[in-house]
């Protein structure tokens, strides 16, 4: 990313293969974090620690759901309706 390039405020309408690989990795990390916090919360005896672990687990679950939402697009339809940027010249 160039230093003067503004960050994206919304995700692109289509998901590339490289994007998909990044999203799958991120989802795996978020799911694992959620499962670990959930497990620890179930076994915590201190109510305050249990509450903090539950809160952290819900945060990771929310992140997982947000990433999943980005994958729930009809990618083929979006790509088909995008203007062709590589037009052939004769």
Spell out the domain ranges in the chain: 37-73
Q: How many Cβ atoms are within 10 Å of 59's Cβ, its own excluded? A: 14
User: What global pTM score does this model have?
Assistant: 0.68
Residue 75 has a pLDDT of: 67
SS3 53: helix
Extract the residue ranges of the chain whose pLDDT is less than 70: 1-3, 74-76, 78-79, 84-90
State pLDDT tens for residues 53-77.
Answer: 999 999 999 999 998 887 777 666 7
């Amino acid at each position: 990313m160039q230093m003067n390039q503004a960050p994206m405020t919304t995700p692109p309408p289509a998901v590339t293969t490289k994007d998909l690989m990044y999203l799958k990795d991120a989802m795996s990390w978020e799911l694992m974090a959620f499962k670990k916090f959930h497990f620890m919360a179930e076994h915590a005896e201190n109510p305050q620690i249990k509450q903090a672990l539950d809160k952290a687990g819900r945060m990771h679950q929310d992140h997982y759901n947000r990433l999943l939402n980005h994958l729930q697009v009809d990618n083929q339809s979006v790509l088909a309706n995008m203007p062709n940027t590589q037009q052939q010249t004769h």
